[in-house]
Structure formats: C-alpha cells, structure tokens
Structure 1
Amino acid sequence: MKKSVAILFALIISQFQAQQNAYYQQAAKYTMNIDVNAEKFTYQGNQTLQYTNNSPDELNVVYFHLYWNAFKPNSMMDQRVAGQGKNGDSRLQKDGISRLASIPKDQEGAQNIHWIKQNGKELKFEIQETVMKVYLSEPIKPNSTTTFTMDWDAVIPQQIRRSGRNNREGVDMTMSQWYPKIAEYDYDGWATFDYVGREFHAPFSDFDVTIKINKDYVIGAGGILENPSEVKGYDANTKINADKNKKSTWKWTAKNMLDFAWAADREYVVKSFDVPEGPKVFLVYQNNDKTKVWEQAQPYITKYYQIMNSRFGKYAYPSYAFIQGGDGGMEYGMCTMILGESGDIESLMGLMVHEGSHSWYQQMLATNEPLRPWMDEGFTSYAESTVMNQLFPPKDPVANPFVGSLDGYRNFVKRGIEEPAVWLGDHHDNGTAYSFASYVKGELYLVQLGYIVGEENLAKIMKEYFAQWSMKHPTDRDFLHIAQKVSGMDLKWFHHYWINTTKTIDYGIKNVQYDAKSTTITLVNNSQVPMPIDFSVMTADKKIVTYQIPMNMTHTWKKIDAFGDFKTLNYWPWTQKEYTFTIPYTKSQLSVLGIDFSQRMADVNLADNVVEVK
C-alpha cells in the first residue's frame, strides 16, 4: 500500500513539474480610437484590451509601459544620460549634457491616464516613472481572458530619440511606443524594465487602430490600411472622407505582432511594390533632393527579402513599411523608422537591411531585448553582414563578410573597456561597450559558432531555430539546445565564455621545425578561451590542406568545413597549453602555413598566426 502511494505521488509530482515547465505565451487584442490635435501635438486615446493569461499562474496585478514619460527633465532617462556623461549615447546628449534636461515644459512627453477598468470595474493604479502598476479587481486565472478599458490623453514629446515631434529631418510626428502597452509576462515574471533609452519587449498582440488626424496628413504604419480610398497618399482615385473638423479617419489592423507604430507628415509620399512570394513593401518618405536615393531601393529590397526568406526563414506578415522617421533607425511590427536622408544607395540599404532584419530577430523570434540584447541586435547584425555582402559584393568574391566586425572587435578589446554581453541592455556603463557587447559580440557569436560546428551545420541551426521558435519568445537556452542537437556537440563552454565573460581567444604558432621528410609545428594558447583549431597549409604548388585539431570539450567534431582537403588530428585538451603535431611536407614543399585561413576565429592577435615559408 505504501509503495503504491509513493508511486502515485511521484507520478503526480512529475506531471506537475511537466506542466510548470511547459512553454506558454500571453496574448492581447487592442482596439484603439485616437483623435490627434496636430496643431498642439497632442492626442486623445481610448482602448479596449482583451488580455489572455495562458500561464499557469494567477495574476493579481498587471503592468503597462508608458514610454513617453521618459521624455522630460529629471526622468530616469535624463538621469541615466547625465550620469553616463560622454560615455553614454551621443544621440541623447550635446557636449556631454543630456538633451532631455532642456526639453520645454510644453514639449515634455506625457501619457495621462484618466481611468482604467477591468470588466467594467474601475481599478486602482500607480505610475512608477515609465511603468504603470494596476491592481486588479479580480484575479486573472490561468487560461482565462479579461477585458481592460482605458482612457487617456498624451503630449507628443520633442523628439530626442525615436519618438516625437518635429525631428531634424522635418517629419511632424514619429509615433512609436506611443500608447499604454501591457507588459510581457512569462516564466521570468513581468518584463517591467524602466525605459531609459534602449530596447523593448511585449506579448504578441492583435491591433485594430482608428486614427483621426487633419486630412492633409499622410500616415505610414506597420499594419494593413483598411480604407486606402478614404485617405491621402495610398490611392490615386482617393476621395478624402473628412469630417466637419477637416479630419480624416485612418483604419489600421495587424495580427500577431509585438507593437503598432506609425508616423505622420504632410509631405510624405507613398510608393509600394510586391516582392515575389511576399511581402508587399511600402516606402513612406518626403520626396525631395535629400531622399532621391530612395528611388533606387526597390530591386535591392526585393533581393533582400528573397535572401532572408531563403537563408533564415520566411517572413510571416503580409506587408512591411520603410518609413522616414528622422532619427537613426528603430524596428517595430511590420515597419521601421529610419533616417531618410542618405548620400548613396549602399548606405540607405545598410540601414534598411539592418532594421528590416529585426523582423526576424525581434519580431518573429521575439527574444526579450532588455534582457538579452545580443540575441536581437547581434543576430540581426549577422543577417545584415550576410545580405549586404550579396547585395554589394566586394571586389574579392571570397572575402569573409564578417572581417570588418572581427577587426572592429579586435581593436575595441585593446581599449580595455569591454563589458560582458550577458549584462542587461540598459545597465551597461559605457555606450560603446554596450554596442560591442550586443551588436558585435552577438554577431560574432554566430561567426564563432560557424567556425566550431561548420557552416553547413550553422545554416541548419538557423533554419531550425526559426522553424521551432518563430512567433514565440525564445531564450538563449532554446537556441543553444538546437545548436547542440543539430551539431551533436557540447557547446555550453563556448556560450559561457563568449556571452558571460570578456575573456579572449589568442592562439599562436610557437615553433616550426623543418625535417628531411616532414614538418613539426607547435601551437600555443596564449589567452583564456579554448577553441578547436583549423590549421591550414598552402603547398608550393598552391594546394591547400586543412588539419582540424578538435577540442575535447565538444566531444564531437565537424566533418568538413574550410579550405582544401580536410583532415582531423587528435583532440587538444582545453587544459593543455601547447599542442605539437607533424605533417608530411618538407620546407621546400610549403609556401604558407597558419591558423584559420577562413578568418572566422576571433583571435585578438593575428601577428603570430601565419608563417610564410621562405
């Protein structure tokens, strides 16, 4: 009897644990009505939000983001920028002083919440800087849906970063992160990071947004315009349907994306074209002498989507809009806001390709950006380098598209200010260190992975990652699980060194001994990060042979990957400082020998990696 009870108890515990560890994601449906006062740069808003709790937890509070509260003197963003001084984001400061400190009172960002209700019952809430905590009248039980209604007004801030009015390129309104947005809730709890300048996170949501604005305005947005024949810019036969206040009504919808962003300007033109097998692309910009290069973009954008769809997974949404937002570049659902004025097509496409690729590594594969910015910015940068190398091929057709990032990383390491990629995005002390940790080391994470497991395996990993986690919220653990499964290798050591530390790779050729019938080479690990080594030789008759020296921690090694003939030697234990091996070539038979002819390994000192045989 006791044994049976014990078995039953164990089964119950096992089932409970399985349920607790099962993946889930929350869902939301927004219905918004927005009335814009373009002269005063304000708007009135109300929304109905259906929120579904798919978690196993009962929720007694919810949180909303109020991002525009950051754009005022003495906000947390202002304090952060002031505290970092010249080490911070140069776009947020002038002469090392925060630009937010001088925003005029009437141009401060504000989202004034009048009331919020749950299923008709008014709720208590408190504003904590850019986060609103809401106390529920009734708990949201697991696998249930509740309805929030909310009324608010907002002041569109002076544009300091991303959102705002009258930016430096003359765009009237860039409306990003502009509405009270419910925070993401997952296994790690509520994602309630304060907005102090960097990235965003949210649950997948559906949007039904109605915007009333002066009839002279054209709107570009990430979504489907449901009434193009009633508004300016989208239909040659438009009969603008304006009300007595001379306002047009714009109706936008979007499904299963993280946010809804838009921009409005009287001078916008809208051009569109269809990419074969999707999506429909919209270009929304001020058509003038400074934006003429936009006219050249269509064939490059078409090829861009074809490469991305083939290499990384098919774009899931019906359309995408590149919108002149007037400040840097920032990705949103089905659109991006970018600088419109560009001197040449390659510069414009570099910006479009990077921001567009966030549709994969931010929207469809929706990682928590504030928590793991390297998975978002880094993977996007990898896609950018890959695609730009094909859109604008270098003179050397076999050039490694990541050489520039590798050289930049090596030069940066010498400055001694590197910070680990594992740090929270907003909590890096140095703006340049953040950029290298998130963009460059995130990109090189995949470059190093390709070097370790082989490019064929890396391509399979990226496709499988998309197949398993598209339209979900993956973590680095999920990606690593796929990488290990596809490659058959243990890769936890690599992930730890590259993401959690600032330790570096530095291998060198210590000695070369030429004998009558062979050559003996001794390699040395001069730094802290162990790596497998591809050691290649070029013979006098220009033949290349690559000797793979595996590392025992992977337990399995790549089969073929690199230049020329491929041979595998005995593994190099990671605890062993030096490694000696012999190859069946004499001095007269050799031209060049060295570590990593492919130039993928992020060795910080290349001076001792190659020997020319003379």
Structure 2
Amino acid sequence: MKKLLILLVVITTSILKSQITPYYQQQANYNIEVDVDTKNFKYNGKQQINYINNSPDTLSIVYFHLYWNAFQPNSMMDQQLIQLGKNADQRMVTPEGESRISKLKPSEIGYQKIISLKQENVPLNYTIEETIVKVKLDKPILPNTTTVFTMDWEGQIPLMIRRAGRNNNEGIDFTMTQWYPKLAEYDYEGWHISDYIAREFQGVFGNYEVKINIDKNYVVGAGGVLVNPKEVKGYDLDIKPKARNNKVTWHFKAENIHDFAWAADPDYSVQTLQVPQGPKVYLVFQKSEKTKYWEDIKPFIIKYFQIMKENFGAYPYPTYTFIQGGDGGMEYGMCSMVMGNAGSLYDLAKLMFHEASHSWFQQVLATNESMRAWMDEGFTSYAENLVLGELFPETIENYPNSHLETVSTYVNFAKSGQEEVMGLLADHYHANNGYSVASYIKGEMFLVMLEYIVGKDNFTKIMKEYFQTWKFKHPTDKDFMHIAQKVSAMDLKWYWNYMTNTTRTIDYMIKKVEELQGETKITLQNSGSFPMPVDVFIVYTNGNKEIYNIPLNLMHNSKKQEFGIPQKTLPYWKWTHKEYSFILPIPLDKIDLIMLDASQRLGDIDYQNNLYQNK
C-alpha cells in the first residue's frame, strides 16, 4: 500500500509539473558564410550555431532540416505529387498531372550534403532521413545551457519547382530560400520535424549574421540589414564593388528572426522608401515594362504599414525587402519573394501585401504552420483583405465588408462536399484545394466570424493584445483563444471547436413573419449544424434601421453595438433549440425588410432564406 501511495504521489507531481511549466522557447544564433558557384549552380557553406536550451529538458538528440533534398526523384515530395496528380499544386506538376520533380536530371536536382558536423569541436554521429538530420549529441545539452555546433556543407540549387531554386520563369537567377541546414524547433510539443512536402515550416528565433560571396556583377536582395552597402553593386550607385577574385561579399545581419532568405540576379535594381515611424523598405527587382507597377506601388506600401500598425501592431524590424523571385509569393524573415510581373497595380498590391502580412502572423507571431496553417495563412489573408479594402475602396464598393469574396468562396466550397477539417496537418490533405480552402479561406473566415460574434471593437482589441502578448514567440490557437475570451468576456470554446475540428455548416433562416394583435412575431429556424449568434437587421417603412442581436447561450455574454445602428439585445438562443421567436412591438405594415446577417460575416450557406421583404 505504501509503495502504491508513493507511486501515486510521483505520478501526480509529474502531471502537475507538466501543467505548470512556464512558457519557454529555444534560441539559435547563426553565423553563416557561403561561396556561390554561379556557373554550376552550386555553393559551399559553413556555419556556427550557438544553441541555447531554454527548456527544462536535457537534450541528447537534435534535428536539422535539409529542405532541398526534397527536390529529387522518388523523394516524399515527389511521391506526394505523383499520388495527387492533377489535384496537386499546379506549379509542381505538368499539364498532364505528372510530377516535375520526377523528371529532374542529376544536374537539376537540389541537395544539401553535410561535409562536417561538430559540437564543441567534437565530430558527431548523425543519420539523414531525406530532409531530416537526426544527430546524436556527444554532450547532452542541459537545461539553461548553451552549446556550439559547427557545420560545413555543400548544396546544389535545384530548378525552380517550389519556392526555392534557379532560373524562375521571370528570369531570376537564384531564389535562395530554405537554403541552409536549419535547426529544428523544440518546445513543449516536442521536436517539430515534419518532412518537407512543399508546404509549411517552423523555425527557432535567433540572430543571424550572413556573408554571401558571389560574382561581382550580381545584386543580392535579402532579409536583414545590409552591413556593407558601399562595397557591393546596386545599393550605392556611386561606389564600385570591392571585388576579390571577381567576387564580392554581401554581409547581412538580422536580430530576433527565425528564417533567413536571399535572392541574386545581375539585372536587379534596388529602390528604397521610408515608412514614417516605420521600416526602411527595399524594392529589389528587374526594372522593365513588365514590372512598371513596382514604381507605382510605393505610396501604397507606406499606407500599408500604417494600416497594419493601426489594426494589429507596429512592424518591429528596421527594414523590409520585397524581392522579385520565387514561384508566386512567399514570406521569410524581414523579406518576401514575389513574382514581379503584374497585370495591374491592384494585383501587385494583393500579392505584396499578403506576403508582407505574414511578418505579423508567421514571422513575429511564429505559429507552427505545419500544424496550424490556418493561423498563419488565414490570419494573413484577413489582414490582406482588410488593407486592400481601405487602399482600393472601389474594389469593394457596395460590399457589406472587405471579406465578402472569401465568404462566398467558403460557402460554395462548404456546399460542394469537398471540405476537409481545418485542424489537419498542412501536408495531409487529400487535395491542394482542400488545403487551400482550409488554411487560407476558412482560416480567414475564423476571424471574420469571430469579429461577427464579439463585435468590431472587441475584435480589434483582441488582435492588438494578441500581437503585443505573443510577438517573437510561438503561440498556438489555445493562446489566441485565451486572449479572445479574456478581451470579449465571452466563452468561445464552442466556436473554436466547431471551426477547427468539424466541417459543420451554418444555415439560419426566417421561417415565419406574422402580425399578432398589432405586433409582429418573427420566428427563426436553425437549419444547420453549427450554432451561432444571430443579428436580425430591420428596416422600417419610415427609413429607420435597427439591429436585434440574439446571442447564443454558449457565449454567456453578448456583443456591443456596431456600425452606429441602434441595437437591442434579446434573450439567449439555446443551442439545443431549433427555433427562436421574438416580438416587435410594431404592426407588420410598418416593416419594410427583415434580414439575417446583413453584414454577411456569419458564413451562412444559404443566404436566400435570410431575407424577408414586406410586400
């Protein structure tokens, strides 16, 4: 009996300890030097990483990512493309649905080969599992201690298939993303060592010092601050590059980021602008008729950073760089790769401002994209459409909100029967459009509908507090919802659960409107499987307008008035009840129109039954 009691005490203590372990995060400071062979599309690299174990755990094994090993025939990425066929990302397959990776020649594949790996100058044993390196440490890393890794490696730059590579279809020579062996993230969820299947990734915050030795006629665009602008081409037109053996060294520094990317091309031009009380912004692109909108976008970039600051929080780094490169758009620390040839100023703004918004919702609020892609892509998409609605109001003229296109896309896809659960791991969807809708569209809907539930004022407070509380950290949806509930004083767990764990749909309708003894009785019906609060918008024959808000009992609270329209709050609608009735103390002939969800943020899949027009 005594042994049993001791065992129970040990188990209970262990459980309690796991529940009260304070937040921690690791730190990895990189010092990287690379020498680029531009003719053969190869490079040699060496790096020193000061790794700080801030966890309460002793680490006897660490992991690295070798992302470019995925760009080889029969890799996991290749096999996934073969299985998905025409359901795959169309950039990565032929028109017939065949994997482009499967057709790469040995001189066209990507790879990162480790030449030497040491800890405190002692060689380490490791195994390579395609894009993951598992390293057995000679000296386990104790809690709250630092160790130093040194590594030499060589890489071959793949043909542009996805995100990284050489010779993209706009003629950019090198897009160098996910280009260095990168330490995996470790936190209370364990090691984050997802195989690279072309989608999302996670990194460790740290400081970067990067030196890139490359042919003197190349211009480099990168995240971080350029330390030696007077020694390289393009950043100071009055200075000739200081070349050695026909090469120059580009020296960059960045603090408190979790990824470093760069691109290089001999035809790049560099332009700058200064955001008042914000970052210095660099535009690195091939100047031509096809990129003419890069000149026109400058005042919009300034306004963009100001709108983002007002709605979410200030961009915290000294610089930001838009670089022409990649295969679409992709975010990295203090920079983004964007395709430069745009059909209109709006198209360029849409691409640039989506990628830049990742600086808030992936780079600063560094959620794990591989596990919760919707928190990154969806929140970013929300910010993108909010900004575009302010900068290009003509594009949403007569729209009830700037997210209406997203709402429509979500509703149509939800009705198609193809929707997959939003909480899936990013690489595990059956089809690329299933992933795209779950992460981008429904992820944005998560915020659109949350705003509908808590009200615009509360929503803005939530987003600002979330950014301020969790910047430079790795928040989860649990952390976000904690703030949302605290600020709104509402219980929102039901909403969080339905949105992330189900594909249930919302369908509220006006079932009946009738006059009873000089008053009007309105009966509503929940024909869906996802309970929500309901806004009933009334327009009277005299032109007056009013909103009746019906909160859901699961919320245990209700939102405040929005839009400057008088609002009355009715008793709770119990989630178990399919019908709800209330009385307007006015004859039916005094009512012109009744509409559910006039702001169109509810995500209702059948809007036709939301309207009653008095004839």
Query: TM-score surpassing 0.5?
Result: yes
Mean CA deviation greater in 544-553 or 261-270: 544-553
Secondary structure class of the residue paired with 2:297: helix
Distance 1:25 1:69 in 2: 27
More displaced, 552-561 or 301-310?
552-561
Q: Which residue number in structure 2 is paired with residue 24 of structure 1?
A: 24
CA distance in 2, matches of 1:105, 1:207: 32
> Are 1:184 and 1:202, in contact at CA under 8 Å, matched by a contact in 2?
yes
Counterpart CA distance in 1 for 2:382 and 2:447 is: 7
Letter of the 2:393 partner, please give it: P
Counterpart code for 1:338: V
1:531 equivalent in alignment to 2:517: no
Aligned equivalent of 1:257:
257
The yes-or-no answer on 1:168 pairing with 2:172 is: no
User: For the Cα contact (< 8 Å) 1:562–1:598, is it kept in 2?
Assistant: no
Contact 1:546 1:562 in 2 (8 A): no
Question: What residue in structure 2 maps to residue 396 of structure 1?
Answer: 397
Alignment of 1:504 onto 2:505:
yes
Task: State the partner residue of 1:590.
Answer: 591
CA positional deviation for 1:109? 0.3
1:495 Cα deviation from its structure 2 partner: 0.5
Give the drift of 1:515: 3.3
Counterpart mapping for 1:131-150 below 5 A? 131-150=132-151
Q: Percent identity?
A: 52
Q: Which amino acid aligns with 1:460?
A: K
Give per-residue Cα distances to partners, 1:467-505, cap 9 Å, x unaligned: 110010000000000000011110000001011100000
Q: Which string of whole-angstrom CA distances, capped at 9 and with x for unpartnered residues, describes residues 125-172 of structure 1?
A: 111010111110010000000000001110001110110001100000
Q: Counterpart of 1:102?
A: 103
**Would you say how many aligned residue pairs link Structure 1 and Structure 2?**
607
> 1:445 is paired with a residue of what secondary structure?
helix
What secondary structure, in the 3-state scheme, does the structure 2 residue paired with 1:97 have?
coil
When residues 14 and 193 of structure 1 are mapped into structure 2, their CA distance, relative to the original with a 3 A threshold, is closer
The reply on whether 1:328 has 2:344 as its aligned counterpart is: no
What does residue range 40-55 of structure 1 map to in structure 2 within 5 Å?
A: 40-55=40-55
Counterpart position of 1:124: 125
Large movers: runs of 4+ above 4 Å? 12-16
Assess if the C-alpha contact under 8 Å between 1:563 and 1:598 holds in 2.
no
Q: Does 1:75 align with 2:75?
A: yes
CA apart distance, 1:252: 0.8
The equivalent of 1:294 in structure 2 is: 294
Q: Greater shift after overlay, 16-25 or 344-353?
A: 16-25
- TM-superposed CA distance for 1:561, in Å, is 2.6
Code of the residue aligned with 2:480 in structure 1: it is F
In structure 2, the CA distance between the partners of 1:15 and 1:422, relative to structure 1 (3 Å rule), is closer
CA contact (8 A) 2:210 2:251 kept: yes
Q: CA shift at 1:587, angstroms?
A: 2.1
Matching residue of 1:303: 303
CA deviation map 1:64-121 (0-9, x unaligned)? 0000001111111000011111111111111211111111110110101011000010
CA distance in 2, matches of 1:400, 1:559: 18
Whether the 8 Å contact between 1:59 and 1:139 is mirrored in structure 2 is yes
Matches within 5 A, 1:523-602: 523-562=524-563, 564-602=565-603
Letter in 1 for 2:80: R
Partner residue, 1:275: 275
Distance 2:207 2:127 in 1: 26
Q: Distance in 1 between matches of 2:392 and 2:246?
A: 47
In the aligned structure 2, how far is the partner of 1:148 from the partner of 1:280? 33
Paired letter, 1:91:
R
State yes or no: 1:209 paired with 2:217: no
User: How far, CA to CA, are the matches of 1:328 and 1:398 in structure 2?
Assistant: 28
Q: Is the alpha carbon distance of 1:503 and 1:44 closer, same or farther for their aligned partners in structure 2, counting shifts above 3 Å?
A: same
Q: Measure, in 2, the Cα distance between the counterparts of 1:546 and 1:20.
A: 44
- CA apart distance, 1:550: 1.2
Query: For residue 475 of structure 1, what is the aligned residue in structure 2?
Result: 476
What is the CA–CA distance in structure 2 between the aligned matches of 1:577 and 1:19, rounded to whole Å?
39
| Kept in 1: contact 2:199–2:426 (CA 8 A) | yes
**In the alignment, which residue of structure 2 is the partner of 1:515?**
516
Partner of 1:179: 180
Q: CA deviation at 1:568?
A: 1.1
In the TM superposition, residue 516 of structure 1 has moved relative to its aligned partner by: 4.3
* Deviations, residues 280-311 of structure 1 (Å, cap 9, x unaligned): 00000000111111110110000000000111
Structure 1 residues 20 and 122: CA distance shift in structure 2, 3 A: farther
Q: Cα offset for 1:19?
A: 8.2
- Per the normalisation by structure 1, the TM-score is 0.97
The alpha-carbon deviation at position 569 of structure 1 amounts to 1.1
**521-530 or 508-517: bigger deviation:** 508-517
Query: 1:182 is matched by which residue type in structure 2?
Result: L
SS at match of 2:602: coil
2:609 alignment partner, SS class: coil
1:218-276 deviation per Cα after TM superposition (whole angstroms, max 9, x unaligned): 00000111001111000022121101x20011111111101110000000000011100
Cα distance in 1 between the residues matched to 2:566 and 2:16? 53
Q: Partners of 1:538 and 1:263 in 2: how far apart?
A: 56
Q: Which runs of 5+ in 1 are unaligned?
A: none
Question: In the alignment, residue 200 of structure 1 is paired with which amino acid?
Answer: F
* Offset, 1:558: 1.3
Partner SS for 2:510: strand
Structure 2 residue aligned with 1:444 = 445
Letter in 2 for 1:252: F
CA contact (8 A) 2:165 2:326 kept: no
- Aligned partners of 1:425, 1:15: CA distance in 2, in Å? 30
Q: Distance in 1 between matches of 2:507 and 2:564?
A: 21
SS at match of 1:39: coil
The answer to whether the 8 Å contact 1:545/1:563 transfers is no
- Distance in 1 (alpha carbons) for counterparts of 2:381 and 2:575: 30
Aligned residues of 1:49 and 1:149 also touching (Cα < 8 A): yes
Conserved? CA contact 2:162–2:326, under 8 Å: no
1:554-580, Cα deviation, whole Å (9 max, x unpaired): 111113235621111111110001111
The 3 A distance-change label for structure 1 pair 111 and 359 is same
Query: Are 1:57 and 2:57 matched, yes or no?
Result: yes
Structure 2 distance, partners of 1:613, 1:381, is 38
Whether the 8 Å CA contact 1:26–1:52 is kept in 2: the answer is yes
> Which letter maps to 1:237?
D
Name the CA distance, whole Å, in 2 between partners of 1:222 and 1:64: 21
* SS of residue in 1 equivalent to 2:393: coil
The answer to whether the Cα contact below 8 Å between 2:505 and 2:604 also exists between their aligned partners in 1 is: yes
CA separation of 1:426/1:110 partners in 2, compared to 1, >3 Å: closer, same or farther?
same
**Contact persistence 1:452–1:558 (CA under 8 A):** yes
**Superposition deviation, residue 535 in structure 1:** 0.8
Residues 119 and 147, structure 1, Cα contact 8 Å, conserved in 2: yes
CA distance in 1, matches of 2:210, 2:523: 66
Letter in 1 for 2:268: Y
CA RMSD of aligned residues (A): 1.7
Which AA in structure 2 matches 1:259? D
Deviations 1:532-555 (A, max 9, x none): 111121000111111111111111
Contact 1:115–1:151 (CA under 8 A) maintained in structure 2? yes
